[in-house]
Structure 1
């Protein structure tokens, strides 16, 4: 069965808005774990705009679920990942001016670069994922780079302006899932998924994990974090695999 992994970056964003000590993303990670999250996601950006080094260190030390460490493919982040030893690293693109990750990583023509970059992580038992768009060339490149997983960027689907556009984006994702499966890649989905648009994947086989943060934290404002995570975990549990 597919599982839910909860991103706690937005808790850190709220804390950093006042450069204070609350809300605490480590507490959010622990509560999400108790409510049914199978993994906790943190994105330690180069500019440290939300999650901080101490956050990932404390989450790694205190939570019993998987730590999924999102990061740019830099030497600094590689060394941090080797020290943390998360279950999975996910390489993502970063731009200083973006509010959130706007699209997938460009892997085409960089297959050997990523393969070499991931080699020491793999040697230390850390699984790897590449965050990419549902593009056939990118999926082929991710496979050639030696990643075990891809995380398909679902933001274009989630942000579609009308039903036709959403249908087209969904079809691209479904085709990407099939292609990845044929290549032997494991598939995660993430970015912009919420309690409504995720239902389109109810009967889609071959999805390992759903990576969700913003919609859960937004719902938590009104119903509390425990219920918000449980509601999403219940949805994911109903999906076929």
Structure 2
């Protein structure tokens, strides 16, 4: 079964909006694991508007599943990841002021930069995944840069899936995802996916891309938890990922 990693950033956004420690991010992570999550994802940004660097340090000894830290590999981010040594680091080409991730790496243009960054993480024994748009031309660059996995940026897929309710689905777009997944698998890269995946579109993606090892979901899952409760919501998402 494809693994579900819960991104807990939005819980931190809620905490920070009021100050104090409600909700308690450490307890949230432990509860997510207790409710069935296969991993915990955090994405600390330079302004610490949701997950703070200290949160990442505090979470490390508590997460018993898979700990995934994602973000742009600035010097501060790299220092944090190398100190924490999570199971996985996911590299995202976010500018500092980005509201959310909105594209993947150009593995050709940034090949030398990615090699240096990935090399440092691999030397520390950390598995490396890089955020990638659905483009077969970028897959080989991810491999030669040293990545272990790619994480497909699924924002365009989610938008197209939503529009498909009233318009013909853009089959070429989804073919790009399938072809990219196949190309990655053929050269030994494992496959993750994330961004705007939800209870409506996740099952279709899972069924048509059998190479999928892991999804990272935060915003939609937290929003659903308001209505369904956190434990029930995690189980609802896991049901979408059954083979």
The TM-score, its normalising length taken from structure 1, stands at 0.93
Q: 1:109, CA displacement in angstroms?
A: 2.0
SS of the counterpart of 1:119? helix
Alignment of 1:122-161 (within 5 A): 122-160=122-160
Q: 1:69, CA displacement in angstroms?
A: 0.5
Gaps of 5+ in 2: none
Change in Cα spacing, 1:166 to 1:219, as seen in structure 2 (3 Å) is: farther
Q: 1:81, CA displacement in angstroms?
A: 0.6
Residues 45-89 of structure 1: CA deviation (Å, up to 9, x unaligned): 122111001211122111201100002111111111110010000
- What is the alpha-carbon distance in structure 2 between the residues aligned to residue 6 and residue 97 of structure 1? 23
Q: 1:218, CA displacement in angstroms?
A: 0.6
SS of the counterpart of 1:100? coil
SS of the counterpart of 1:159? helix
Figure out how many residues of one structure are paired with residues of the other and give that number: 238
Q: 1:99, CA displacement in angstroms?
A: 2.1
Contact 2:72–2:95 (CA<8 Å) still a contact in 1? no
Contact 1:72–1:94 (CA<8 Å) still a contact in 2? yes
- What is the alpha-carbon distance in structure 2 between the residues aligned to residue 46 and residue 57 of structure 1? 15
Contact 2:133–2:153 (CA<8 Å) still a contact in 1? yes
Alignment of 1:102-117 (within 5 A): 102-117=102-117
Residues 213-241 of structure 1: CA deviation (Å, up to 9, x unaligned): 111101111121111111111221x22xx
- What is the alpha-carbon distance in structure 2 between the residues aligned to residue 58 and residue 30 of structure 1? 12
- What is the alpha-carbon distance in structure 1 between the residues aligned to residue 15 and residue 172 of structure 2? 37
Aligned to 2:9: 9
Moved more, 78-87 or 26-35: 26-35
Aligned to 1:209: 214
Residues 107-142 of structure 1: CA deviation (Å, up to 9, x unaligned): 222212211112121111100010111112222211
Contact 2:60–2:86 (CA<8 Å) still a contact in 1? yes
The TM-score, its normalising length taken from structure 2, stands at 0.92
- CA root-mean-square deviation: 1.5
Matched, 1:169 2:170: no
SS of the counterpart of 2:12? helix
Aligned to 1:233: 238
Gaps of 5+ in 1: none
Moved more, 108-117 or 147-156: 108-117
Change in Cα spacing, 1:97 to 1:78, as seen in structure 2 (3 Å) is: closer
Q: 1:166, CA displacement in angstroms?
A: 4.9
- What is the alpha-carbon distance in structure 2 between the residues aligned to residue 55 and residue 168 of structure 1? 41
SS of the counterpart of 1:62? coil
